[in-house]
Amino acid sequence: MKKLAGNVLLTAGLIAGSIAAARIPPMWGGLAASLAVMGAGIVLRRQGAREELHRAAESGTGGVGELERLLGEAIGRLEKILDAPAEKAHAELTKILEELDEFAEKAQPLRIEGLMTYGKIMSIFSRGERALNRAWSAFADGYEKEGRKYLRYGYEDLKETLAAVRAMKA
């Protein structure tokens, strides 16, 4: 609710500020008031976003436990295709990448722990996801040797991400 109220105040302040500033000469009092309304909207919006992150972490729709489960499943499935035939590896990698699309959304509650923690986990994960996408592309184009190389890189990066997520629990 706070996020919605913040958005409304931010929008109203923006419109009022635009009208006040467009006048010649500008209506400085109206512009100052609209900036204050926009500031209040920003504060409410941020509070609402923070509350949403806390609710998501508490309800289990994100956060450490959910990420640990998602990564563990993906790593287990990757282990099975490291030495599989290229066609099988490509097909399974397609499914794994589709499931990993949820990771960024489910990682949002980690921002509660701080941006440095969130940034560290997301940078390791994104490196691994890029490697897996490269592996998928290489397998699709028939470059099996390159596909296997990037599949290993992605696998190692996901294991590193899982270790970083588990370290948060400690």
Question: Domain holding 130: CATH number?
Answer: 1.20.120
- One domain, residues 55 and 71: no
Last residue of a domain, one of 13, 32, 59: 59
- One domain, residues 69 and 32: no
- One domain, residues 103 and 69: yes
pTM score, whole prediction? 0.66
Q: Give tens-digit pLDDT for 66-112.
A: 788 889 999 999 999 988 898 999 999 999 998 888 787 777 777 66
- One domain, residues 100 and 124: yes
- One domain, residues 74 and 26: no
> CB of 40 within 8 A of CB of 48?
no
Interatomic CA distance for residues 125 and 157, integer angstroms: 7
- One domain, residues 125 and 163: yes
- One domain, residues 75 and 46: no
- One domain, residues 137 and 98: yes
Residues 6+ apart with CB under 8 A from 64: 110, 165, 168, 169
- One domain, residues 83 and 47: no
Q: List, for the chain, all residue ranges whose pLDDT scores fall below the cut of 70.
A: 53-54, 56-63, 111-113, 170
pLDDT in the model for residue 167: 84
The token pair at 154 is 């992605």
- One domain, residues 132 and 95: yes
Rounded to 5°, angle at Cα 123 from 122 and 124: 90
The backbone torsions φ and ψ at residue 62, rounded to the nearest 5 degrees and listed phi first, read 180, -175
Closest C-alpha to 96, from 31, 154, 21 = 154
Last residue of a domain, one of 59, 84, 105: 59
What is the number of structural domains in the chain?
Answer: 2
Interatomic CA distance for residues 48 and 152, integer angstroms: 41
The residue segments making up the domain with residue 86 are 64-168
